[in-house]
Amino acid sequence: MRVVVDQYLCGTTGQCALTLPGAFRQRELDGVAEVCLTTIPQSLHAAVRLAASQCPVAAIRVIESDDECASAEPVPSQAEAERHAAKDQHNPGGHDGTV
């Protein structure tokens, strides 16, 4: 299992880090979530799935198999691309101001 956080989509709520602090952290600079484990141990698989399911903006992607790893970078949907464009237009610096 691998986990990828879409750092452009991340809403900086910290829900993932609160749910599973051993696997997720927030950058101090901007609060964007990061995965802090290169390999997710079997014992944490269920907890990682839970953290991903609780992400309010669905920025966490769980990659279950090696076949999915070939395309590990999330491809934004049309709706996500439009949200990014709108967010960038309203906030060209890319930060939502959350501290």
6 CB-contact burial (10 Å; exposed 0-12 / middle 13-18 / buried 19+): buried
CATH code of the domain occupying 2-90: 3.30.70.20
Instruction: Indicate the domain borders of the chain.
Output: 2-90
**pLDDT tens digits for the chain (99 residues)?**
999 999 999 999 999 999 999 999 999 999 999 999 988 999 999 999 999 999 999 999 999 976 644 454 555 555 555 665 555 554 555 555 444
